[in-house]
Chain A
């Protein structure tokens, strides 16, 4: 189940990056492109093991940077930082609650681009930043927040559809049966 989940997550990361680059719908209407990778990272850090989180950070980061003007590899660290912070606290997080998913998505989508920009500025790159970047940051955070519960729903549905069905345990146990009457 864990492997299927990881494969689905990596495939989703691949499609998400392509969608962001090929269909600039939100960037035309809202003047900012929503990044789905932090939302995916929230799902991965609550659903797969640490190697899975690393795999998503590395593959997602490389996919993103390959279609962007970013230096290759710069997006890996922000994604991994977000995933790692959630992963080490995942026992304390109410994974199945939509509001928890929403706020985790909001935080992840706010932190990841901020870290990327900080890394790029530290590397001496000139970026397109200004007051409008605050709006873009808001759109990215809000978009990530909204898409996180949706991603959880879609992945749960995919696992139910493609994964092996769970064996339901009946409450009936023959050794606990109360036999009435004599004998």
Chain B
């Protein structure tokens, strides 16, 4: 090797050491600055996706559209009826809470955001959304879809936020089985199937069955209780029978996320 090769090696190693050892705040700002170089391409990508969507709409036959319209109309009527019933229940709940002096539960405030980027590395499960601190998004806010929990906000910039998804080792959720009230932790899933996650640290001998619903328990301070997560697929004893583990199929389709809600307290 020539002398210049050694110099190059040393320079790159030094640069990497310097960048990796930057203070967290400076590194985050630098990351944001480099990431903002991609801003012009975001518009291009969304425009191309919209164009593809419009083309698909144009190609959908009229009969199919009418059928979809009819199905949506029926669903809308059913939801209206359910809303009336829920409004009654909510009033009753509020009255009973007032009677026993319980704190009133604040309704969820949801901010709609679009998923703009996915993590290019295969060893993380994160996405970036087009809502940032200017939209009121803060770190650790829960992110969900109409089907269920998606993850939590990991970092926030002015216009974008990075969301770590359920199933990533950095997004552990305190959860409970709705039917049996058994508590556990929803931890990482496998790298292959994003719809399956591990539900661990369940009590030994817990009466769990496939098909039972898993939701957030509210413990841990990040996720409010009652957000649906998924359904149990199978159950097995873990650590020589010390506790029980289950596999949970997530309600939200993490592989096909387009729009999500950020839950703002």
Contact = CB atoms under 8 A, between A and B. Distances in A.
B12 interface: yes
Contacts of B72: none
Contact of A77 (B13, B38, B123, B170): B13
28 contacts: A22-B41, A22-B45, A22-B118, A27-B122, A35-B120, A50-B8, A51-B8, A54-B11, A65-B31, A65-B34, A66-B31, A69-B154, A71-B27, A72-B19, A73-B16, A76-B15, A76-B19, A88-B1, A126-B188, A128-B168, A128-B169, A128-B188, A128-B189, A130-B191, A131-B190, A131-B192, A132-B191, A133-B122
B170 A126 contact: yes
Interface residues of A, number: 54
Nearest to B168: A128
Q: Is the interface of A mostly helix, strand, loop or mixed?
A: helix
A126 B169 contact: yes
B9 interface: yes
A160 interface: no
Contacts, number: 148
Contacts of A76: 12, 15-16, 19
A88 B5 contact: yes
Given A76-B12, A129-B191, A113 B30 contact: no
What 3 A-B pairs come out closest when comparing CB atoms? Answer: A132-B192, A73-B19, A126-B169
A69 B31 CA distance: 10
B154 to A, nearest CB: 7
A90 interface: no
Given A22-B45, A66-B35, A74-B20, A128 B4 contact: no
